Amino acid sequence: MNWLTDAHIHLSDDEFKPELPFMLTAMEKIGLKACCVSMDYSSSIATLNLSEQSSLVLPFLGIHPEKADGDLESVVNLITENSNKISGIGEIGLDKTYVSDDAGFNRQVSVFEKMLSLAEKLEKPISVHSRRTLEEIFSILPSYHLKGVLLHWFAGNKKQLQKAMDIGSYVSYGPAMIYSQDKQILLSQTESSKILLETDGPVKFSKCFGYKTAQITFMPSVLFCASQILGKRYDEMLEIIEKNTNSYLGI
C-alpha cells in the first residue's frame, strides 16, 4: 500500500479539535500520513501528544517566525529531550510581515539559525516558512549541513525555484494549485524528485473550496491535480510523492 503524506499541516491546531477523531480514522482508511508542524512551545506540546495517539502523525516541533519572541529555550529543550520521538523541526523560517523594524527581523533570524543548528545536530529535516524572504533564507541555509529542507508553500519566482533545486531543497504545493495558474507553472518546472504536497490546514482557500478550512482529506484531490498537470497517472504520481517524502524524512 502506498501512503500519501501531507508534508505540512497544523493538525494539532485548536480548530481541528472537534473533528480530530474522525480525521484520524479517515487518515487510516484512505492511507494518509501527516507531517504535523508546530508554531511555539504550547503547540509543540500538543503536536507531541497527538503523535502519541496515532503513528500516522509525524511530529515536527519548532518556532514559527510569527512567534519569534516566544520562549526559545523551552522549545529547544523540548526538541532535544524528544529527539528520538520527532520526525523533524518546523515550522521555522522568516517573515517580515510579522515585524515592524530591523530588531524584530533580526530576532527572527536568530531564532531561525538556532533551529537550523539544532536540526543539523540532531540530523532532522526542517519545514521552512519563507514568505517574501527566500533570498535571505537562501543566504543562510548553505551555512548548515541539513538532512532535508522543505520550502513549504513555495511562492517564489522561476529563478528562485531553480535556486531551490540547485541547493537540493524540496518544495511543496497545496490546494491553491488546483486553481492557480502560477502554481501550476511552478509545479511543471520543479524537478519531479523534489516535489511534495501539502494542505497547510487549517488555512482556508477561496475559489473551488469556498473558504472551507483545509482538511487533510483534501490531499487526494491535490495529488490528482498534480498528476494531471504533470501528465502522469494518479498511482504513478502517488509513488513519486511517497518516494520523495521518504527521502525528505530520511526513512
CATH number at residue 142: 3.20.20.140
**What does each C-alpha distance from 157 to 95, 126, 135, 139, 154 come to in angstroms?**
17, 22, 11, 16, 9
pLDDT given at position 211 = 86
Mean pLDDT computed over 204-211:
84
Query: Model pTM?
Result: 0.97
Which cell goes with 250? Answer: 530520511
**Long-range contact list for 182-188, CB < 8 A, 24+ apart?**
184/229, 185/158, 186/154, 186/156, 186/158, 186/161, 187/226, 187/229, 187/230, 188/229, 188/230
Q: ω before 91 within 30° of 0 (cis)?
A: yes
Asked whether residue 206 carries a pLDDT value surpassing 90, the answer given is no
pLDDT tens for each residue of 9-60: 999 999 999 999 999 999 999 999 999 999 999 999 999 999 999 999 999 9
* SS3 call for 57: strand
| 141 vs 160: CA distance, rounded Å | 14
| The three grid cell numbers given for residue 113, joined into one nine-digit string | 539559525
Cβ–Cβ < 8 Å for 7, 196 = yes
Q: What pLDDT, on a 0 to 100 scale, did the predictor assign at position 207?
A: 81
Res 172 pLDDT > 90? yes
> d(Cα 243, Cα 28) in Å, to the nearest integer?
19
Please state, in angstroms and rounded to a whole number, the distance separating the CA atoms of residues 183 and 230.
12
Mean pLDDT of the chain: 97
Q: pLDDT confidence of 174, banded at 50, 70, 90?
A: very high
Q: How many structural domains compose the chain?
A: 1
**Which residue range is the domain that position 128 belongs to?**
4-249
